[in-house]
Structure 1
Amino acid sequence: MKNPMVKINITALLLFFASMLNAQQITCSPEDKSLFETKIVDLEKTKGTNLGDTISLVGQSFLGTPYVEKTLEVGDTETLVVNFGGLDCTTFVENVLAFSLMLQNQQREFENFTNYLETVRYRNGDLNGYPSRLHYFTEWIRNNEKKGLVKDITAELGGVELEKPINFMGTHRNLYPFLASDANFEAMLVVEKEIAKEKLCYLPQDHIESKEHLIKSGDILALATSIKGLDVTHTGIAIHQPDGRLHLLHASSKNGEVEISELPLADYLKNIKSNIGIIVARPVLKAL
């Protein structure tokens, strides 16, 4: 006679190993899991009427969060890092977008959040090692546009095209610990060759003030640069302020925390020597 408990135990064991396999793909401390639970409860009370408003509100909920570099460079293999205690400019944008899409789609589970985070952070939404992460923000925008999550509106605003080799990681291998692996390094060289096939479209710095009324709060902004081999140096979220001007909501390395720029965006950029303008991507509501 077959023992039904054997079947139950085997099933439980398979489920345990499946959960362990999934857990190995995510790096998240108990503190960050607790912060997620607290934040989602608070954010559900402040959801905006549209995605742009929600992004603005979610972004402001992170005000004062410390700026921390390289929070994704954890361990020996690429995992989906969830870290709310310290953000750089890109992880700030990614976390805000993931939370906002959840809220607009009336979702609240941690699994919903990690699904969105993986989708926006990795090429075609699939975490498959370090090279699958969208390291260059122009590729981040293009790939998330293919996913239907954002729309690059830079050209519509009067953006101009620029042919520029994007190869900073390949020419500065020593700055990226994961590129010590020959396999990762060779894969990133292939990525850079693909990115080089696309022209960079940006709105010149001296055109921003006259176009800022066309940029909505909640739009994602990338700061295009003249630095050799790089596409952008910084990212953030557009936010209109009571002064009637467009400002930048961002994780600031200079001031060490998430903040809203004191100066309007057009004036703020004039103080960045290498800045040539901005790229603007408008988030689009989509359920996963």
Structure 2
Amino acid sequence: MRFALPLVALALAVLPAAAQHTVTPPCPLRLPLSTVFKGDAKFRALVIQAEKENWRQLPLGARTIRAARAMVGTPYVNYSLEVDNRVENPVVNLNGMDCWTYYENALGFARMLRYKPAPYAPQDLLHMVELERYRDGRCTGGYLSRMHHLEEVFANNERRGLATNITPRIPGAQRLSRQIREMTVQWKAYRYLRNNPGLLPQMGRIEAQVSRLPVFHIPKSRVRGIEGYLQDGDICAITCNDNGSYTSHVGLITKINGRAVFTHATSDRDKGRMTIIDRPITDYLYQGSKHAGIVVVRPKDLPPSKFWQTPMATR
């Protein structure tokens, strides 16, 4: 592994001190692997492509967009994480994605390439998704250890050194105020809550905490003027005018010919109900009257795992 030692030195040099202790170990597999991981063939093909094209040496944002582009055309599937009535486990479905799992899968795959050396297994990508989506990076087996609101994911990951919410630093940013109650009101739409209504009081407390978070956005009237601040691989959440939600959609930014283009998984039938590279984010915002603006979060790489420092012969 001739690149192992330089890569460790590089990664440790660029990561801030606060990010050195953020990688929690993966949770035990509580459900069959065939239940929580779909798309083995696509995963293997992605790994082969990433190794052949040396994605590992790219910055995180560029790696994320390479993965996201390779996933374009994947069918849109909602509620893909609802795989059991009670037992919670990180889930990856490369055969069908919604807007949230699309960005998670692309980012998780990109992080995996630098976090540990090959060979890669589905459990490695499940671990990356667990770090991004679960509170403090730990799936406890309970449904409420998963963060169900983007605003909490952004705040929790920033606190752990996994990302920076750059929105408040962008000119024109404005603070939003919302009363979040989507999951406590529409609880019957969620398999776990429908089968465990006793979780609703705690979910209500979580939504009250999310309501109090300091959430800033860039109003859509100002987005064209700030596209230059956006980079490949930035997570871009679409804010809405509904007082019961901060955000209604999420995707990634890819820079094409100087414009910040939105790539996302769309449920729109006229766009094919699949993952696509759409139009510049400014144009996308103006195609929907309910779109209010954007929140932009910039992920960070993980500290390299101990396996980079272990000779191949001993692994």
Name the TM-score, length of structure 1 as normaliser: 0.87
Runs of 4+ in 1 over 6 A off after TM superposition: none
Question: 2: CA distance between counterparts of 1:50 and 1:69?
Answer: 30
Match of 2:29 in 1: 23
Name the TM-score, length of structure 2 as normaliser: 0.80
Q: Which amino acid aligns with 1:39?
A: L
Match of 2:40 in 1: 33
Query: For 1:114, which of 121, 126, 129 is the aligned residue?
Result: 126
Question: 1: CA distance between counterparts of 2:283 and 2:192?
Answer: 37
Match of 1:12 in 2: none
Whether 1:238 aligns to 2:250 is: no
Whether 1:96 aligns to 2:106 is: yes
Question: 1: CA distance between counterparts of 2:65 and 2:29?
Answer: 31
Question: 2: CA distance between counterparts of 1:44 and 1:187?
Answer: 44
Match of 1:62 in 2: 71
Give the SS at the match of 2:218: strand
Mark the runs of 5 or more structure 2 residues left unpaired by the alignment: 1-26, 306-315
Question: 2: CA distance between counterparts of 1:31 and 1:88?
Answer: 14
Question: 2: CA distance between counterparts of 1:26 and 1:160?
Answer: 45
Query: Larger C-alpha radius of gyration, 1 or 2?
Result: 1
Query: Is contact 1:68-1:88 (8 Å) kept?
Result: yes
Query: For 2:219, which of 160, 181, 204 is the aligned residue?
Result: 204
Match of 1:4 in 2: none
Query: Is contact 1:225-1:233 (8 Å) kept?
Result: yes
Change in CA separation of 1:157 and 1:28 when aligned onto 2, cut-off 3 Å: farther
Change in CA separation of 1:130 and 1:203 when aligned onto 2, cut-off 3 Å: same
Could you tell me how far 1:31 is from its partner in structure 2? 5.7
Question: 2: CA distance between counterparts of 1:127 and 1:31?
Answer: 19
Whether 1:258 aligns to 2:275 is: yes
Give the SS at the match of 2:170: coil
Percent of residue pairs identical: 29
Question: 2: CA distance between counterparts of 1:200 and 1:31?
Answer: 34
Q: Which amino acid aligns with 1:67?
A: Y
User: Relative contact order (alpha carbons < 8 A, sep ≥ 6): 1 or 2 greater?
Assistant: 2
Whether 1:222 aligns to 2:231 is: no
Query: Is contact 2:220-2:292 (8 Å) kept?
Result: yes
Q: Which amino acid aligns with 1:125?
A: G
Give the SS at the match of 2:297: strand
Query: For 2:52, which of 37, 45, 55 is the aligned residue?
Result: 45
Question: 2: CA distance between counterparts of 1:229 and 1:247?
Answer: 27
Give a deviation string over 1:6-41, Cα, whole Å, max 9, x none. Answer: xxxxxxxxxxxxxxx933246535862333222212
